[in-house]
Structure 1
Amino acid sequence: MHVVHVNLAAGFRGGERQTQLLVQGLAEQGLTQTLVGRQGGELVDRCRNIPGLHVVAVRNNIVSAARALSGAALVHVHEGRAIQAAWLAHRLGKVPYLVTRRVQKGPRRTLANRIMYRTAAVRVAVSHAIGESLQLLDPRLDFRVVPDSTSALFADPAQARRIRSQYGDGVLIGTVAALVDSHKGQLQVIEIARRFAQPLPEVRFLLIGGGPDEAMLKAAAAGLPNVVFTGHVDNVGDYLAALDLFFYPSRHEGLGSILLDAMEFGLPIVATAVGGIPEIIEDGRNGFLCAVDDIGAQSEALGRLIHDTDRRAQIGAVNIDK
């Protein structure tokens, strides 16, 4: 069976990471695969050395992508624009396609989108919240929930200790996300850090990742010695291994696969109750959930875990088992 994956994203974020993980997993099972990706895109570069995978880089053009899908037994659509190419390939050559949705916001309610999603052989949502947003497009659209996987991140204990040693003996709180406040909510991290700066000066907040809002966020955090911007890092596992707490204040989120990674590292989590996050975090059991921009509740939850090492350990153990 020849499966063709199509992901035309220019950047490399959670959806592209999940695409790469799936392709790698299927390659280990010996499946014949092709990846159709965007010329110059990071996903294409990262996947070129996967054994047995044929990589096709296309221009940012739906027709070019559709041509590359011909001859497939099945097309797997991994992001919103790629469904147009899959539908066109289906019209031209009866190629069946399945669609995986990873974003909380549903497709625009247009006739074209209804047709393309109805035509899909299978519709997959990584959370029930995403599936419900898909049904706002058309209540007749059924879907299957298949959550994202963990990234199986590697951690070097020596590197984790080195990272840890840079920030003293205080509690280390981190968030891993693209620096895009309208999505990942990093201004909330900075506001909480401002509140904690005097009563808990030893606590550090690490914003791990890069992105278009970096300059704005650094300006907002000016004068706060307890906020650290790491920039983009490849060794995310080392940073997760160095943390005491994971904070994820997203403003909207399909699932938040980085939470699965944080759980795998046994980290207690404070997150916002949006999208698919409550499907991962059970409030009070393996973390705490708060409303977006409820700085008071977020501060209280973080403060509780900062001061209660036994509770941190208890929640961390639940996350490892989960």
Structure 2
Amino acid sequence: MSRICHLNLARGYRGGERQTELLIRELARRGVAQRLIARRGQPLAERLVDLSDLEIVPVRKPFAMRVTSVRGAVLHAHETRAAQLAWWRWRVAGTPYIVTRRIGKRPSANVVTRAIYRDAAACVGVAGSVAREIADYAQRDVATIYSALSDLPVDRGRSQALRKRWGDAFVVLNVAALVDAQKGQSHLIEVARRAASERPGMHFVLAGAGRDRTAFERQARGLANIEFAGFVDNVGDYLAAADAFVLPSRHEGIGGAALDAMRAGLPVVASAVDGLPEFVDDGRNGLLVPPGDENTLFNALIRLRDEPELARALGAAGQSTAARFSVARMADAYQALYARIADV
């Protein structure tokens, strides 16, 4: 029987799915027996088929009917629907489970959701702010295990082609799901609108897919200084070709894309929300702005463009910060937690 059973039933491939993949790959490298319960037809399972020792169980709705597929010494739920299924398995078979919470918003107050967090063998927040929110919500101890950055490959030919296409523009990159309620890109579009008239020579690239793309494209109509790249699997090439990275989120668990940008040496401008200030130190390794404050966001990006020495210094300091957020460190912490729960 697989010692660790991961559950992730999300659609698409966002930060939580990337973190799930990173953890599974690192544990596989260490020889840990694992099973993955994933939504059928979604990218996470497809991206992991190369791991011959990983047992992948694709499932469809209704997920509660798949409870017998959930088997392991420890269950690790990586998102909300997965936590529900892990809770049902605990009720049926008493299998201990862990819930990792990846967003800073407080969970629903309904009885079942509270029970899911209360009955878990352990709860984890991907940043200190997330852990504190869940501890207050569930009235229990919650561990903090920071998300890891990715080792994103760079194809020099592709990154140089991007840079050539963008020319001499100062390129501001955002990599995030196009979901305004969380990621706040509508504010960035208004910053691009202002830059088009006041500071020509800036180019804004939004890389990501999501439900608000059509609305964003409508909002940006007529702006030649903004492009929607869609979901890209070669994020490393975009980071290597850009001049600055921006994450104007309204709320955020930790903002792992900002860590990846730091690893690439880009100066980062991010909202001062949730887990972001836990690694973005304003003025030292990045710039923090109040969420929704378009004027301050605009001025921060202009500052990076006009002060290249500052941009370089922030980028260099950010690289040192990012080095602390390795996949190995994250896997060490989860393995210690698994061992405490089930002696695996």
TM-score bracket, shorter-length normalisation = over 0.9
What is aligned with 1:171?
A: 170
What is aligned with 1:299?
A: 298
Q: Distance in 2 between matches of 1:291 and 1:170?
A: 26
What is aligned with 2:4?
A: 3
Q: Distance in 1 between matches of 2:197 and 2:124?
A: 47
Q: Any unmatched runs of 5+ in structure 2? A: 322-344
What is aligned with 2:133?
A: 133
What is aligned with 2:101?
A: 101
1:61 aligns with 2:62: yes
1:1-322 correspondence to structure 2 within 5 Å: 2-70=3-71, 72-139=72-139, 141-322=140-321
Deviation at 1:316, TM superposition (A): 0.6
Query: Residues 12-71 of structure 1, C-alpha deviation per residue, up to 9 Å, x if partnerless?
Result: 11101111111111000111100001112221212222231000011122323321113x
Higher-RCO chain (CA-CA 8 Å, sequence separation at least 6)? 2
Look up the SS of the partner of 1:85 in the other structure: helix
Contact 1:37 1:56 in 2 (8 A): yes
Query: Residues 115-157 of structure 1, C-alpha deviation per residue, up to 9 Å, x if partnerless?
Result: 2212211111101111122134222x11110011111110112
Contact 1:104 1:252 in 2 (8 A): yes
Aligned residue type for 2:243:
D
| TM superposition score normalised by structure 1 | 0.96
Deviation at 1:297, TM superposition (A): 0.7
Q: Distance in 2 between matches of 1:151 and 1:60?
A: 31
Q: Distance in 2 between matches of 1:110 and 1:155?
A: 45
Contact 1:171 1:202 in 2 (8 A): yes
Q: How many residues align?
A: 320
What is aligned with 2:333?
A: none
Given the superposition, is the C-alpha separation of residues 256 and 65 from structure 1 closer, same or farther in structure 2, using an over 3 Å criterion? farther
Q: Any unmatched runs of 5+ in structure 1? A: none
Q: Distance in 2 between matches of 1:157 and 1:86?
A: 43
Query: Residues 194-251 of structure 1, C-alpha deviation per residue, up to 9 Å, x if partnerless?
Result: 1111332111111111222112111111111111111221111000000110011011
Query: Residues 154-189 of structure 1, C-alpha deviation per residue, up to 9 Å, x if partnerless?
Result: 011221111011111121111001111121111111
Deviation at 1:73, TM superposition (A): 0.8
Q: Distance in 2 between matches of 1:60 and 1:128?
A: 33
Determine what percentage of the aligned residue pairs are the same residue.
41
Aligned residue type for 1:100:
T
Deviates more, 1:87-96 or 1:293-302: 87-96
Q: Distance in 2 between matches of 1:182 and 1:231?
A: 18
Look up the SS of the partner of 1:247 in the other structure: strand
Contact 1:8 1:60 in 2 (8 A): no
Look up the SS of the partner of 2:197 in the other structure: coil
More helix, by proportion? 2
Q: Distance in 2 between matches of 1:101 and 1:51?
A: 28
Contact 1:168 1:202 in 2 (8 A): no
Contact 1:97 1:122 in 2 (8 A): yes
